[in-house]
Amino acid sequence: MNTLYLKSFIRCKRKAWLDFKGDKSYEVWSAHKAIDKVNQFQIFYKLCNGEIYTGLKACENGYEGVIGLKIKGKFFQNIYAEIHPQLLLKTKGVSKWGPYKYLPAVYKLGHKTTKEHLFDLAFNSILLESFQETKIEKGLVISSFGNKPYVEEIYLNKKLRKKVLNVLLSLNECLEGFMPEITQDRKKCTICSWQKFCDKEAKESGYLTDIDGIGSKTASLLKTNGISNTQKLASYSEKELGEKLSQFNDQKFLKASMFVKQAKAYISGKSYYIANKNDNYDLLKKTSSGFYVFDIESNPDEKHDFLYGFLKINNLFAKKEDLIYEPILNLENNKSESYRQIIKILFSNNEWPVLHYGETEKIAIINIARYLNYSFEEIDLLTSRFIDLHTLIRKSLILPLKNYGLKTVSNWLGFKWVQKDVSGSKALYWWIQYKITKNEIFLKKIIQYNKDDCLATLQIAEYLIKNQLKKN
């Protein structure tokens, strides 16, 4: 047992088990984990003013910060464990090394201190006390505030230590037992390295949470009504189901119809049209004399959009190689220049609609227009040109997919990204690497990824428009 399993266990019991016993060939690299590690090191480095070293020797030498230490020990009766403290920070006191001791510290992304942080600190302190031969009264949660380290002290009282001990005992039991079930809260799976492995099992077993719009609460409501899997849901009468979904009030029949249709599509692999003739006709009409596809890459934690990509389409039937793609990098010191270029592009064809996938792009443009002191009317006029294909596709079709994200939908339409296994998080990882190394190769990768995102969005637009043309 170790700190990493504890961290996983708090999120999902199955994840801890898979980390311990799972076949690693099914695990995929996680950009989130990698980003977390880089951010963590940077903030620890600042906190220790650069005096940060690895291993036991660093503790003996009394350096300010120590990382990369693994400590084994007995934590309860005959149960042994290993801790991997993220950081040990030097403080006043007496330990076996001299007139100082170390406190355990964990990195926190965002504002909320969770039980994951508290349990990590309490677990570390149990083994650290005997390792240093001293008492540890508190641990530290380190976050970044305005690019500076912010330290929160956590008192490791008896209650917290008792709680973590109980969790560790359940973890121990879990690791010795059979593989736990897939978590009910499938939102947790989106950033998990075992997602592909679990998705396969969920689909084969007909998990209700595989159906778009069904979360853990709705799934358990359906189960109490005898609908235990997607097959049963697909064969259920929409009207009967609607009567059972009173929690959705006047939306209950609409929801029931969507759930049943979505389950049918998911099982059969076929898509279903739902009425939305006008919107798609509108898309066809507005794009007939040219349009832009717009996509941005962002760092949500820093609220920074680092790349804006525009694809210019004069004619829907033009060859892909002939399309003009313009990437605009938003480096920290050239914000005004990036904004100027964006506005220049948007107004070089000021009648053209701007197609995008999801709400982020429109919000970004509103913020830019506000920054440039545009009037209410001007902002309204500009944003009225934006067409969100994600909303449009949801209103028009039920697809045989688990979700309606850009990657899922365009992959289903046969789109292939030039670079393998890419995602927005991976682009962010490359951006962070670029900021550290200044190596242009990372920028090239981000730009290629963004261009492909634009082309994937275009493929969805083509699909909607061509389907509309067939109907006319």
CB of 181 to ligand SF4, least distance (A): 8
Q: What pairing do the DSSP bridges indicate for beta strands 71-76 and 65-67?
A: unpaired
**Maximum Cα–Cα distance across the chain:** 84
* Residue among 253, 220, 219, 215 nearest 237 (CA): 253
Closer to ligand SF4 at the Cβ: 91 or 423?
423
CB of 8 to ligand SF4, least distance (A): 8
CB of 230 to ligand SF4, least distance (A): 17
Q: Is 291 in the site for ligand SF4 (CB under 6 A)?
A: no
Closer to ligand SF4 at the Cβ: 18 or 346?
18
CB of 197 to ligand SF4, least distance (A): 7
Whole-angstrom distance, CA of residue 216 vs CA of residue 221: 9
CB of 16 to ligand SF4, least distance (A): 8
Q: Are 84 and 4 in contact (CB under 8 A)?
A: yes
Evaluated on CA atoms 409, 410, 416, 422, the torsion sign reads: negative
Q: Is 209 in the site for ligand SF4 (CB under 6 A)?
A: no
Closer to ligand SF4 at the Cβ: 6 or 141?
6
Whole-angstrom distance, CA of residue 10 vs CA of residue 72: 21
Evaluated on CA atoms 257, 243, 234, 406, the torsion sign reads: positive
Closer to ligand SF4 at the Cβ: 26 or 45?
26
CB of 174 to ligand SF4, least distance (A): 12
Q: Is 168 in the site for ligand SF4 (CB under 6 A)?
A: no
Q: How many of the other CB atoms lie within 10 Å of CB of 281?
A: 14
CB of 168 to ligand SF4, least distance (A): 19
Name which of residues 3 to 62 contact ligand SF4 (CB under 6 A): 12, 14-15, 18
Phi and psi at 214, nearest 5°, equal -100, 110
Among 31, 189, 354, 393, binds ligand SF4 (CB under 6 A): 189
CA angle 170, 175, 178 (to 5 degrees): 105
Q: Is 208 in the site for ligand SF4 (CB under 6 A)?
A: no
Extract the runs of DSSP E, i.e. beta strands, from 422-464: none
Q: Are 256 and 242 in contact (CB under 8 A)?
A: yes
Q: Is 355 in the site for ligand SF4 (CB under 6 A)?
A: no
CB of 60 to ligand SF4, least distance (A): 39
Binding mask 126-165 for ligand SF4 (x = CB under 6 A): ----------------------------------------
Q: Is 364 in the site for ligand SF4 (CB under 6 A)?
A: no
DSSP string, 59-111: HHTT-SEEES--EEEEEETTEEEEE--SEEEEESS-BTTBS-EEEEEEE--SS
Closer to ligand SF4 at the Cβ: 196 or 466?
196
Among 3, 125, 183, 396, binds ligand SF4 (CB under 6 A): 183
Closer to ligand SF4 at the Cβ: 12 or 233?
12
The four Cα atoms 440, 441, 444, 445 give a dihedral, to 10 degrees, of -140
CB of 228 to ligand SF4, least distance (A): 18
Among 52, 103, 182, 399, binds ligand SF4 (CB under 6 A): 182
Spatial strand order in the sheet of 386-388: 324-329, 304-313, 291-299, 354-356, 386-388
Among 5, 194, 404, 431, binds ligand SF4 (CB under 6 A): 194
CB of 33 to ligand SF4, least distance (A): 12
Residues listed for the chain:
472
Question: Which tokens belong to 80?
Answer: 């042994």
Q: b or e along 294-319 (b: 16 or more beta carbons within 10 Å of the residue's beta carbon)? A: bbbbbbeeeeebbbbbbbbbeebeee
- Distance of alpha carbon 49 from the chain centroid: 31
Among 118, 198, 208, 447, binds ligand SF4 (CB under 6 A): 198
* Total binding residues toward ligand SF4, as defined by CB under 6 A: 12
Closer to ligand SF4 at the Cβ: 18 or 354?
18
Q: Is 195 in the site for ligand SF4 (CB under 6 A)?
A: yes
Question: Which spans of this chain sit near ligand SF4 (rule: CB under 6 A)?
Answer: 12, 14-15, 18, 182-183, 188-189, 192, 194-195, 198
